[in-house]
Structure 1
Amino acid sequence: MSFAAVPNARTADTPRVDLRVLVVDDGGEPVAAIAEHLAAIGTPVTAVRLGERGRPRIDAEFLAGAEEGRPRARYQAVVVPGGGGAREPGGGVAGAVPAVAAGGRGPVGAAAPVLGGARAPALGRAETAALAAYERRFGIRQVDAHAAAGPLPALGAPAWSGRLDGRTARVTPAGRAGPFGYLAGPVPFADLDPRAAETYGRLVRPGPDFTPYVDAAVPGKPRARGALVGEYADDGRRRLLVTFGAPGDRLAYRLLARGIVDWATGGVHLGAARYGFAVQVDGVLARDARWDPDGDCTSGTPGCADLPPIRMNRGDAAYARDWSARRDFTLDLVYSGGAAERHRRAHGGADALADRLITDREAFRWINGTYDRAPLGCVRGRGGDAARCARDAAGEVRWTPERRIALQIEENVRWGRARNLPVRRDELVTAGHTGLAAPPGQPLDNPDLAPALGTTGVRWLAADRARDPLSRRVGTASTVPRYGLGLFAGAGTEREQIDAHAYRYGEGSRGEDGDPAGGYRSYLVPRAARAALGHVLAADPAPHHLHQSNLAEDRIAYPLLDRVLTDYRRLFTSGTPLGNPRPRAIARDLQRRAVWAEAVRNGKVTAYRVGGTVTVRAPAGVEVPVTAPPGTRQRFSRGDAEVGRPYAGRAAGWTRADPVRERVVLRLP
């Protein structure tokens, strides 16, 4: 919505505009990608699912009303599918773009692929007309998530239509000056599978009422460019038209989602997001059993060759220090002091790795990984029952006892502090996330884990996001779900990594002509980096983790980390820096997101704007995420203060209600 056009708040005819987005969902990928971003940042949404039995009818009463004598707009922005989701009163498709075959050789029409799978029926003429009238009356903006083939004269004839896989679009000067100013320029489209179409789009020639925000070169015509995203202003309405769909890869949508929401809401909305990337290195000072490429097994398992374990050395530690300084990126080292002491006993009191890391301790952040890196779940059976929990004579599960868990935690903290490591008592990573439920072998948390965490002061406990996707309480602690980076603990070399990956996921990952060395950098690194960057751009604060073995020998972690950091800094401006939070900051973010989401889900949040004033009511103690123009100030009973911090061209952050007013009141600049 263009809030600048709203009348002065002191007049009775100034409308109240609720800070909520209406999403008309056809089940397609384009709408889902935008809805994903809205959910991730905490923006309240009302979803109308086309084809759902008993869904509300979109009419004047559904969209608007009155509140305290003022006209009331129930939604500050509207997202529709575009082609296939909303039809214009004249019979055309809302947001549609005329389509021609690749190279401009004639109409393709029905030949264009259906994006995002089966779709629900389109909006009817009456509902589409109600939306149009509502948008004109209140100045509400509409996003057409995938403007498909059909008549829209203002755009002119399409310049090209086809697969965008492997191509790179760019943000136009108008886009940089407008909603996409946080982007440095390039907008790449993946080509993860050359055999399949991943992103299909239409490059359109803009007409006089259309402003391109993202465009791309027309194939075969080096000097010609066509628009993929742009603003269409006509008949008293403003619409953002997106002319591509992404059924298999959401990264382009995630890259643009911040700007799409910013444009739709006029830069004022509930919800806030800062991108962050944290990498935790498990098993530091310990050893990892090596993967055997010849036997397709891990050394030490029955029938596998006895191979030397993998452990970082002094040179690896110095390289990690120098890499962190060069990249301005701090690694979190999850250490186990007992492993260093065992190494010293076996090597005449020497441990060059520990000595180097302790000397360079300020170059890293340190996390307690327990003293011996021992498993803290159930006691495992022997032989063929190793995957199951052992039981005592009474048939009860044998658990690692509380006293042993607490000793592992406390002893490692003491070891670290004796060497002046900046370790915190309240952060913990257990070996392999043991102690937490790991179905099917261990379907429940170790009941002795929670009391041990309480007595040792642990508040933040790492968890496997694949098993524990949501932060949850374990006694006094909260879990911090972590993503793996796809690197195996048994891989110190590229050959070991690519072979272990191929064994688990298929031979296609071995690279061209089956060459493992080429496969790692040409196949695995781009895909793993893209997955990690996708987590970042989805505004997911969860940290990533790898293994100390990945920093040793071939140092296979660095090409992957370099790719993530380089890609991010290539895509974003300096005004959108990549954060590097530690576990307690991530856990706090997850907690307040969960509390906020629950309050919104339960209808406990009311937020609206009247002129230049935003008012938010939420339950006591609930922090409120806000995005607004720079210079926005929050009113308190004892004065005003700026809200949020500068990020991506906006002021974004979390705030609390004034204790006297019992609400958040913002004054926009």
Structure 2
Amino acid sequence: MKRTIRTTVFTVGALIAAFGLPAGTAHAGTTAPRVDLRVLVVGDGGPATDAIAAELDAAGTPYTEIDLTQAGRPVIDGGFLADTVDGRPRARYQAVVLPNDNPFPAGSTEMAALAAYEQTYAVPQVDAYTYARPEAGLQYPVHGGYSGSLDGVRASVTTAGRAGPFGYLDGSVPFEDNDPAVGESYAYLSTPVAGADFTSYVDAPVPGRATRGSLVGEYRHDGRRELVVTFVYNRYQPQFRLLARGIVEWMTGGVHLGASRNYFAVHVDDVFAADDRWNTALNCTPGDVDCTDPNAAPDPIRMTPADVDHAVSWQQEHGLTLDFAYNGAGSVDHREDHDGADPLADRLIAGRDAFRWINHTYTHAFLGCVQDTSVVPWKCATAADGTTRWVSRNEIADEITANRVWGEAAGLPLENEELVTGEHSGMKVLPQQPVDNPNLAPALDDNDITWLGSDNSREPEQRSVGPATTVPRYPMNVFYNAGRAAEQVDEYNWIYTSRAQGGSGICEDNPATTTCLAAPLEPATGYTGHIVPLETRIALGHVLSNDPRPHFIHQSNLAEDRIAYPVLSGVLDGYAALFADDTPVVNPRMSEIGTELGRRAAWRNALEAGQAAAYRIGDTVTVEAPAGLPVPATLPTGSTLNDAAFGAPYAGLVSGWTPSVGTPLTLTLPASVPAPAVPAPAVSAPVAGAPSAAVTGPAPDTRVPAGVTEQVVSSARD
């Protein structure tokens, strides 16, 4: 079908005058403008702009969002985009994100105002997902290009991309293909129009041809710069997660509020203790309160000294330190049952400095309500007057103190303010215990606990429990009661298949569960063929999402078949194959994670309240924020704060947090960073030789084709 595209062209002077951009003051042409460090995100309900907004949100980068589908939204005109402050021209936004290269109706004054604004202040524009067409610097796909799925394709960062905004990547950008029956990507592959000033940053092979087509590229025209993205994505997909950082750094020039890292921390619970084994005949775990067969004895799983040696060598090979959450009574009981011998504890204590250690309470006791296990599922026991019976303050405090004393006597390098209770007990657990044990907070105060591990599947946000702040932890679907792959597969099949297939029926009762199975996994291949890839993908998704929350497994998973390692290695090996050396995985301990989450929340609250902002004039960035508020920023290497080097290097830039002192913070950029453009004087008529801002007709509909998923949420089981 032939397309007719209507193009309207204005000169820059006429646009500036027509749309009220503040270039006509006495200082215009000589005074450096003020550019606010805020991004304008214009969305249309599609997943691409939503994904970019989510990336800005996670990093703490301020943005203003306009939804084109909402009635009563603000009108984008010159006054909305720019004004003057103290006689100085001010650009209110350092970058503009649009759903495509022009999402407005034909002849739109809003698109014309944006074009004039971008040209006047050298503000870049991201076309979040656009059709490949000459107006975006590309040939139509029918001219030797491609329109369709890229499921399973490995795109590549070009030489220009590596030298530019995507230099933190090693070069490969794999597109996911998790289900052959589901379309997970759609793209337009094309080459630049002859004569266009277009640089491709990410490309992929054109199916059936010996050519490559652009997926992400920069188009320079009419004094404007556009990042042209021609594939659709949502915020969870790995292809976007890999490129998200570069999209933000391109649009901001590497100068913005907010900071991000790729984090991975793994807590191993129940160290020194033993975990009861899944019973494949009973479909439950003898020893647990909900497995009541009197003829079934617990079958414990416990690490050996050889497992400790393997953990040490694995850490050294992968550059990651595991956090061991320990129960001292596990060793005491073992010695009592084995004439004082405990080779596992001896090996762990001898090699204690190879790991980080967290108090997991002495006996792993349940610290919430007193459990009534006479019924399945258990319920909270009640007193004669009907009130809930609670584990006492002294019992909770004794569990914490006894384990701390045991760990200190063993020489474990502890941070005593950290605690993970057994089963995250003491905190509310639905449906049986809808509130915290009222004795928990006082017991935490008795022991100076400030960081308390919680279950992210129950409570994903931090909250206070007395003097402590929670650190949500991701549960991995590598089960605590499985030391062998066959046990893991058997329990997985039980949980995630239908009753007709011999399963529990949980998925029938809870259809939103994302890990349901159409058929049972094969016992011999189900773990490596299905569970490992899925759990690896989920965990790596967290790593790539600037999410510091730790993951947790259990000591049983490091024993026997050592089933945790294929997942953990898959995450780290997969990461290493994708990222450059200057973008390593960050491996924080629990207190550092809690601190990071806490200051993010404080920063987010300050932004929402309008208490924090920043702007740039020339080579100076000024940040205004309340005293004591931690401020995150990302800047080019060589930037300084009060004549001292700012931040820490990561992904080719420097970034970090600095507390506000109540007066404006002044950061200085290196001389090599280009300054914002000085606005040209406004004129009422075209000037000979002046560049023009081409305001093209609206882009064709580029929404996701039917059958291609717009949202894929990956999460572990609650």
Please indicate, yes or no, whether the TM-score normalized by the shorter chain is above 0.5: yes
Do the aligned partners of 2:132 and 2:189 also contact (CA within 8 Å) in 1? no
Pick the aligned partner of 2:122 from 110, 135, 139: 139
Cα distance between partner residues in 2 of 1:476 and 1:650 = 36
Provide the secondary structure at the position in 2 that maps to 1:354.
helix
Q: Spell out, residue by residue over 1:336-388, the C-alpha distance to the aligned partner (whole angstroms, 9 max, x if none).
A: 00111111111221111111111111111111000001011111123226532
Q: Which residues in structure 2 correspond to 1:515-534 (within 5 Å)? A: 515-534=522-541
Is 1:183 the counterpart of 2:169 in the alignment? yes
Pick the aligned partner of 2:225 from 238, 243, 248: 238
Pick the aligned partner of 1:302 from 292, 300, 315: 292
Do the aligned partners of 1:612 and 1:668 also contact (CA within 8 Å) in 2? yes
Provide the secondary structure at the position in 2 that maps to 1:442.
coil
Q: Which residues in structure 2 correspond to 1:88-103 (within 5 Å)? A: 89=106
Instruction: Specify the alignment match of 1:251 in structure 2.
Output: 238
Do the aligned partners of 1:12 and 1:70 also contact (CA within 8 Å) in 2? no
Pick the aligned partner of 1:201 from 176, 180, 187: 187
Q: Spell out, residue by residue over 1:90-134, the C-alpha distance to the aligned partner (whole angstroms, 9 max, x if none).
A: 6xxxxxxxxxxxxxxxxxxxxxxxxxxxxxxxxxx2222221111
Provide the secondary structure at the position in 1 that maps to 2:528.
helix
Instruction: Specify the alignment match of 1:373 in structure 2.
Output: 364
Do the aligned partners of 2:45 and 2:69 also contact (CA within 8 Å) in 1? no
- Give the superposition deviation at 1:446: 0.9
Cα distance between partner residues in 2 of 1:40 and 1:581 = 18
Q: Which residues in structure 2 correspond to 1:159-558 (within 5 Å)? A: 159-207=145-193, 208-221=196-209, 223-247=210-234, 249-300=236-287, 301-303=291-293, 305-306=296-297, 308-384=299-375, 386-506=377-497, 514-558=521-565
Cα distance between partner residues in 2 of 1:449 and 1:594 = 24
Cα distance between partner residues in 2 of 1:492 and 1:65 = 65
Q: Spell out, residue by residue over 1:8-55, the C-alpha distance to the aligned partner (whole angstroms, 9 max, x if none).
A: x99863211111011112222111111111011100111111222321
Q: Spell out, residue by residue over 1:502-532, the C-alpha distance to the aligned partner (whole angstroms, 9 max, x if none).
A: 2222379789994223121121111111111
Q: Spell out, residue by residue over 1:168-221, the C-alpha distance to the aligned partner (whole angstroms, 9 max, x if none).
A: 111000000000011111111111111010111111112332110001112223
Instruction: Specify the alignment match of 2:36 in structure 1.
Output: 18
Cα distance between partner residues in 2 of 1:568 and 1:390 = 48
Pick the aligned partner of 2:139 from 156, 176, 187: 156
Pick the aligned partner of 1:82 from 89, 100, 104: 100
Provide the secondary structure at the position in 2 that maps to 1:169.
strand
Do the aligned partners of 1:89 and 1:128 also contact (CA within 8 Å) in 2? no
Provide the secondary structure at the position in 1 that maps to 2:387.
coil
- Give the superposition deviation at 1:150: 5.3
Do the aligned partners of 1:73 and 1:138 also contact (CA within 8 Å) in 2? yes
The range that moved more, 384-393 or 252-261, is: 384-393
Do the aligned partners of 1:656 and 1:664 also contact (CA within 8 Å) in 2? no
Is 1:664 the counterpart of 2:665 in the alignment? yes
Instruction: Specify the alignment match of 1:97 in structure 2.
Output: none
Provide the secondary structure at the position in 2 that maps to 1:446.
coil
The range that moved more, 271-280 or 198-207, is: 198-207
- Give the superposition deviation at 1:312: 1.2
Cα distance between partner residues in 2 of 1:363 and 1:154 = 54
Is 1:585 the counterpart of 2:586 in the alignment? no
Provide the secondary structure at the position in 1 that maps to 2:300.
coil
The range that moved more, 541-550 or 316-325, is: 316-325
- Give the superposition deviation at 1:157: 3.3
Provide the secondary structure at the position in 2 that maps to 1:297.
coil
Is 1:598 the counterpart of 2:615 in the alignment? no
Give the 4+ runs in structure 1 shifted more than 6 A.
Answer: 507-513
Do the aligned partners of 1:511 and 1:523 also contact (CA within 8 Å) in 2? no
Do the aligned partners of 2:134 and 2:140 also contact (CA within 8 Å) in 1? no
Do the aligned partners of 1:277 and 1:580 also contact (CA within 8 Å) in 2? yes
Where do 5+ consecutive residues of structure 1 fail to align?
1-8, 91-124
Do the aligned partners of 1:276 and 1:580 also contact (CA within 8 Å) in 2? yes
Cα distance between partner residues in 2 of 1:546 and 1:520 = 16
Cα distance between partner residues in 1 of 2:481 and 2:171 = 39
Instruction: Specify the alignment match of 2:653 in structure 1.
Output: 650
Pick the aligned partner of 2:84 from 58, 61, 66: 66
Q: Which residues in structure 2 correspond to 1:30-49 (within 5 Å)? A: 30-49=48-67
Q: Which structure: larger Rg?
A: 2
Q: Spell out, residue by residue over 1:627-648, the C-alpha distance to the aligned partner (whole angstroms, 9 max, x if none).
A: 011111113xxxx111111111
- Give the superposition deviation at 1:297: 2.0
Do the aligned partners of 2:493 and 2:520 also contact (CA within 8 Å) in 1? no
Do the aligned partners of 1:182 and 1:648 also contact (CA within 8 Å) in 2? yes
The range that moved more, 265-274 or 503-512, is: 503-512
Do the aligned partners of 1:200 and 1:244 also contact (CA within 8 Å) in 2? yes
Aligned residues: 619
Q: 1:417 to 1:542 in 2, by over 3 A?
A: same
Cα distance between partner residues in 2 of 1:510 and 1:308 = 28
Do the aligned partners of 1:510 and 1:520 also contact (CA within 8 Å) in 2? no
Q: 1:139 to 1:438 in 2, by over 3 A?
A: same
The range that moved more, 31-40 or 517-526, is: 517-526
Letter in 1 for 2:45: G
Letter in 2 for 1:253: F
Where do 5+ consecutive residues of structure 2 fail to align?
1-26, 502-514, 671-718
Pick the aligned partner of 1:621 from 613, 619, 628: 628
Do the aligned partners of 1:198 and 1:247 also contact (CA within 8 Å) in 2? no
Do the aligned partners of 1:576 and 1:648 also contact (CA within 8 Å) in 2? yes
Q: 1:420 to 1:288 in 2, by over 3 A?
A: same
Letter in 1 for 2:110: E
Q: 1:601 to 1:510 in 2, by over 3 A?
A: closer
Q: 1:307 to 1:540 in 2, by over 3 A?
A: same
Cα distance between partner residues in 2 of 1:253 and 1:580 = 23
Do the aligned partners of 1:21 and 1:78 also contact (CA within 8 Å) in 2? yes
Is 1:562 the counterpart of 2:582 in the alignment? no
Do the aligned partners of 1:168 and 1:216 also contact (CA within 8 Å) in 2? yes
- Give the superposition deviation at 1:293: 2.8
Q: Percent identity?
A: 51
Do the aligned partners of 1:288 and 1:311 also contact (CA within 8 Å) in 2? yes
- Give the superposition deviation at 1:149: 5.8
Instruction: Specify the alignment match of 2:3 in structure 1.
Output: none
Provide the secondary structure at the position in 2 that maps to 1:211.
strand
Letter in 2 for 1:334: A
Instruction: Specify the alignment match of 1:101 in structure 2.
Output: none
Do the aligned partners of 1:175 and 1:181 also contact (CA within 8 Å) in 2? yes
Provide the secondary structure at the position in 2 that maps to 1:530.
helix
What TM-score results when the alignment is normalised by the length of structure 2?
A: 0.83
Q: 1:133 to 1:88 in 2, by over 3 A?
A: farther
Cα distance between partner residues in 2 of 1:525 and 1:126 = 53
- Give the superposition deviation at 1:163: 1.0
Instruction: Specify the alignment match of 1:52 in structure 2.
Output: 70
The range that moved more, 432-441 or 364-373, is: 432-441
